[in-house]
Structure 1
């Protein structure tokens, strides 16, 4: 099976129960949409799980790290080296994402999806590098179609 066939084999999400789930959330003792993005995520999770009331067991935060090629044009706020530092901070459990994850009992997994550095020596890092960063999108496509498909499949496998 080709990479594209694998991507196309991912089932389309059945959203037929979404209006019913949204109505149930809207009917709670609160103003409609008062919880903002949390409500959207609860509805999305319920639709994915095909349940009226979603549940979360063993929550996990997946952080996919990569560098974009626009850094080379001076467009980015920070140089690529900051990405390496953030990966190290996440792996050490000292980033704000780690603090939030601890509050809800979530495990943090850090994935090298395209950091523009060799991170092969990092313990605990999931290695799924597509490339050493992307191309400079101001000069060429950031990624090839094959890279995009590989990235989506890697993300699906990890999730």
Structure 2
């Protein structure tokens, strides 16, 4: 991969916003996280705060070879069905994106389906889904780097169109299984502490899902904390693409609002590759999936919303974008 430089936060801009809050006729720091978010945003963008966010949800789609074991409540064909829903604007992710005044960009970085009949989907397929990681690595290093590059390309495209906030969405049946394996490998945790119910699976499927993660880790032995090694061995193309989006945004001083547990696994990979990326991440919400909190703790990210959500697809990030815009409105209107 090319060497990427992530700029430092602009401390001078952050201090200016803190000083702006001090001028507002209110008790100090009584807006809590709202103030922290706006101060952090100023440091990320390194210039005057905009009146309004121009937001793009980048939704990366990829399928997982381990889906065949029944680790999800849904068959793999649902990946394509959901992408059709995004195109029609009838999925929960797109409804909430409209509420957040966000535009949605759907990218096929590695689904198992031919989506060429959906012209509005960005056709960037690296492979037709990942390999079954219980039998060997999910992807090659070359494939992983290509998928990350797709994410960086998508981030650049959006930023070149004037978007000043990106947020992450993902789709791929079986991806919470890969996420659990990523979390176990990166954090050095037993799968008992990372495998959750994802799409709402029953106890029988839960046993299968946990065993798939155990088998995948035993077969591949990913190196703890080595983001590229972990991605290649147990990750997904959706994870790789989203990691690229976060990296691409950070290098251009554009914040990324990270969605739920799968997007946070992608953020963890981006952080492992380029630790400075963490300064440009905002955590949208706390997923009910058990590995989410542990990954956030490592990156020292605090969720904006805690509503027990686990749908993914960018839904939690859409809610958090609304909160962030409200926080900016308060500051912009009262500090002048």
Q: Compute the TM-score of the two structures, normalised by the length of structure 2.
A: 0.39
Say if 2:131 and 2:139, in contact at 8 Å, map to a contact too.
Answer: yes
Greater Cα offset, 75-84 or 62-71: 75-84
- The match for 1:17 is 11
C-alpha RMSD of matched pairs (Å): 2.9
Structure 2: state its 5+ residue gaps: 22-27, 156-336
1:16-38: CA deviation from partner (whole Å, max 9, x where unpaired): 639x57x949x6432x44x6xxx
Deviation at 1:45, TM superposition (A): 4.2
State which of 134, 139, 143 in structure 2 corresponds to 1:143: 139
Partner of 2:30: 29
Q: Is the 8 A contact 2:10 2:42 kept in 1?
A: no
**8 Å contact from structure 1 (residues 45, 54) kept in 2:** no
Cross-structure match for 1:117:
113
Equivalent residues, number = 146
| Residue 62 in structure 1 maps to residue 58 in structure 2 | yes
| Residue of structure 2 equivalent to 1:107 | 103
Asked whether the 8 Å contact 1:63–1:111 carries over to 2, the reply is yes
Deviation, structure 1 residue 148: 1.2
* Paired residues of 2:10 and 2:44 also in contact (CA < 8 A): no
Deviation at 1:71, TM superposition (A): 0.4
Task: Give, in whole Å, the separation in 1 of the partners of 2:29 and 2:98.
Answer: 28
Shift of 1:73: 2.5
